[in-house]
């Protein structure tokens, strides 16, 4: 990323863009979708989708997953769309039956798309995309299946075409191991056709405008060359390790974190926020603390005394959970260091917890 950006007409720019497009398609496992890159964060990726698919009054079903689906629904509403929600149960993934029921109720097919957050980073919960696809099909509803893979791509398995996903949205800073600042959206022909019919002002985000062979038009201006250079390198790292191995590494490290939290939890002060094993994210773990424990204090002890950064609870989970991230550029030594730091902070705070690091090691040895 630190290499000198070239001028825009340099043939290496076009080659870099082509490499990033084809690498992203391979990662997303799609032959059918076109990939658009934006100089933006994940909210920019969301906005790209909304600007192309949501006109005034367009109904979008945004099933509850926690803070991030709530925020996306707010953004839909800010553009004049109608965000319909399904009931959300804390610590649980999306209920496919609720999605099917909402779509069946929509006999006039007003709902243009179902916006699903695959892994909600706030609740550390991953929903079952294949089950959601089946729910849409069972309701015989034409809604587009739009999936936010910001926190799951290159960590949990995701096969866009096989899952029947019409639009996928990602961002640079998580499993892609890059600095924040670049978002990408992959949209298939069905989605591009719906976008052509969306009546709403758009320019920078416009997929139709960006469908060009020229880099300058593809990016609606100067491409984010440093991010693209980083993306090419990140895709190379993933390819070298092998995507299946990348997924297996994430599953192995996540299982070690879950084992650690389960062991700590025997003291009664902590528990895994995500209730079912299958829905526990391989990217991030939310740890719920018992009333009377301040996770923000714990975070500051972990950071100041033990040099370990752990995340706090977002939205309604603020003050109720802390979160351990374990995705992207992550290995056993980094993870064990983190867990030891968290355990040290828990002990420093006098919170009953033993055996978490040992349990993590045992899990890694399985």
How many angstroms separate the CA atoms of 59 and 72, rounded? 13
The angle formed by the CA atoms of residues 189, 31 and 229, to the nearest 5 degrees, is 105
CB of 157 to ligand PLP, least distance (A): 16
> What is the token pair recorded at 332?
């056993």
CB of 149 to ligand PLP, least distance (A): 8
Please compute, for residue 157, the number of CA atoms within 13 A of its CA located in the half-sphere on the CB side: 11
Q: Which is nearer to ligand PLP, 47 or 288 (CB)?
A: 47
Residue nearest to ligand PLP (CB): 42
Q: Which is nearer to ligand PLP, 151 or 163 (CB)?
A: 151
Q: Which is nearer to ligand PLP, 67 or 271 (CB)?
A: 67
Q: Which is nearer to ligand PLP, 47 or 95 (CB)?
A: 47
How many angstroms separate the CA atoms of 175 and 138, rounded? 32
CB of 199 to ligand PLP, least distance (A): 26
How many angstroms separate the CA atoms of 172 and 150, rounded? 8
Q: Which is nearer to ligand PLP, 258 or 323 (CB)?
A: 323
Q: Which is nearer to ligand PLP, 150 or 351 (CB)?
A: 150
How many angstroms separate the CA atoms of 270 and 290, rounded? 6
CB of 43 to ligand PLP, least distance (A): 4
Q: Which is nearer to ligand PLP, 43 or 275 (CB)?
A: 43
CB of 84 to ligand PLP, least distance (A): 19
* Contact residues for ligand PLP, defined by CB under 6 A: 41-43, 68, 117, 120-121, 148, 150-151, 171, 180
The alpha helices in 106-163, defined as continuous H runs, are 129-138
CB of 41 to ligand PLP, least distance (A): 3
CB of 74 to ligand PLP, least distance (A): 12
> What is the token pair recorded at 225?
């060359």
**Which residues share a beta bridge with 322?**
287, 312
Quickly count helices (H) and strands (E) in the chain: 13, 13
């Amino acid at each position: 990323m630190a290499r000198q950006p070239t001028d825009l007409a340099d043939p290496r720019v076009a080659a870099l863009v082509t490499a990033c497009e084809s690498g992203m398609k391979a990662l997303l496992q799609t032959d059918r979708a076109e990939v658009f890159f934006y100089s933006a964060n994940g909210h920019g990726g969301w906005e790209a989708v909304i600007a192309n698919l949501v006109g005034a009054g367009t109904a979008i079903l945004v099933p509850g997953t926690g803070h991030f689906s709530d925020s996306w629904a707010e953004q839909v509403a800010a553009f004049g769309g109608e965000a319909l929600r399904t009931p959300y149960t804390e610590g649980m993934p999306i209920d496919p039956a609720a999605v099917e029921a909402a779509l069946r109720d929509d006999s006039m097919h007003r709902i243009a798309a179902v916006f699903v957050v695959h892994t909600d980073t706030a609740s550390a919960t991953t929903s079952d995309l294949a089950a959601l696809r089946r729910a849409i099909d069972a309701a015989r509803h034409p809604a587009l299946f739009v999936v936010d893979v910001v926190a799951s791509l290159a960590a949990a398995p995701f096969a866009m075409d096989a899952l029947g996903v019409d639009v996928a949205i990602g961002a640079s800073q998580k499993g892609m191991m890059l600095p924040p600042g670049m978002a990408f959206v992959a949209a298939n022909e069905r989605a591009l056709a719906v976008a052509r019919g969306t009546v709403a002002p758009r320019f920078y985000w416009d997929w139709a405008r960006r469908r060009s062979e020229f880099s300058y038009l593809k990016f609606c201006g100067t491409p984010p060359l440093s991010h693209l250079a980083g993306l090419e390198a990140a895709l190379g790292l993933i390819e070298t390790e092998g995507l299946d191995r990348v997924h297996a590494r994430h599953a192995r490290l996540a299982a070690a974190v879950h084992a650690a939290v389960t062991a700590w939890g025997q003291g009664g002060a902590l528990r895994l926020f995500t209730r079912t094993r299958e829905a526990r994210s391989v990217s991030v773990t939310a740890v719920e603390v018992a009333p009377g424990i301040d996770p923000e204090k714990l975070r500051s002890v972990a950071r100041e005394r033990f040099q370990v950064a752990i995340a706090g609870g977002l939205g309604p989970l603020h003050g109720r959970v802390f979160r351990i991230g374990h995705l992207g550029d992550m290995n056993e030594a980094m993870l064990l260091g983190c867990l030891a730091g968290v355990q040290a902070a828990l002990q420093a705070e006098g919170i009953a917890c033993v055996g978490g690091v040992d349990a993590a090691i045992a899990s890694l040895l399985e």
